[in-house]
């Protein structure tokens, strides 16, 4: 989904922006690093998780994440010290995301490393 579609999906959550942080490819799309994301991964506060659970039927996965919809997954984490604001939403800190990518062995993550490094270098 492109940036416009992603923003519409984020709005559909009907959560205060302080209660969640956009992770992974969604954060890259909001930064205009990637053109599209396959889904939306978010970290939510305990309050945000409760609100989502009140509106959706959350299904917990074995890895601790929750399936919100077929396009949205979340994990309980406030991310307070690992996020930055882009527009009106909080997104995962780019250096924190790069650290995650460097530890990952998934091909799509490995391919993102030079893209994220270039973005970080351009911000200096």
CATH code assigned at 21: 3.30.460.60
The answer to whether residue 79 is domain-embedded is: yes
85 phi and psi angles, rounded to 5 deg: -95, 130
User: What is the DSSP pairing of strand 72-76 with strand 40-44?
Assistant: parallel
Taking the CA atoms of 14, 52, 5 and 21 in sequence, report the sign of the dihedral they define: positive
Range of the domain at 12: 3-93
Q: What is the pLDDT of residue 20?
A: 97
pLDDT for position 124: 79
pLDDT at 80: 86
Please check whether residue 36 lies inside any domain of the structure. yes
pLDDT at 76: 96
Packing angle between helix 94-103 and helix 107-123, nearest 10 degrees? 150
How many distinct structural domains can be found in the chain?
Answer: 1
- Residues of the chain scoring pLDDT < 70: none
């Amino acid at each position: 989904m492109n940036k416009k579609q992603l923003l519409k999906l984020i709005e559909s959550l009907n959560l205060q922006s302080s209660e969640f942080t956009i992770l992974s490819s969604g954060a890259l799309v909001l930064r205009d690093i990637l053109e599209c994301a396959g889904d939306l991964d978010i970290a939510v506060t305990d309050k945000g998780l409760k609100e989502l659970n009140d509106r959706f039927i959350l299904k917990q996965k074995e890895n601790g994440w929750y399936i919100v919809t077929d396009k949205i997954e979340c994990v309980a984490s406030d991310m307070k010290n690992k996020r930055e604001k882009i527009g009106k939403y909080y997104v995962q800190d780019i250096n924190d995301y790069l650290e995650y990518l460097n530890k990952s062995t998934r091909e799509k993550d490995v391919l993102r490393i030079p893209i994220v490094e270039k973005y970080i270098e351009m911000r200096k």
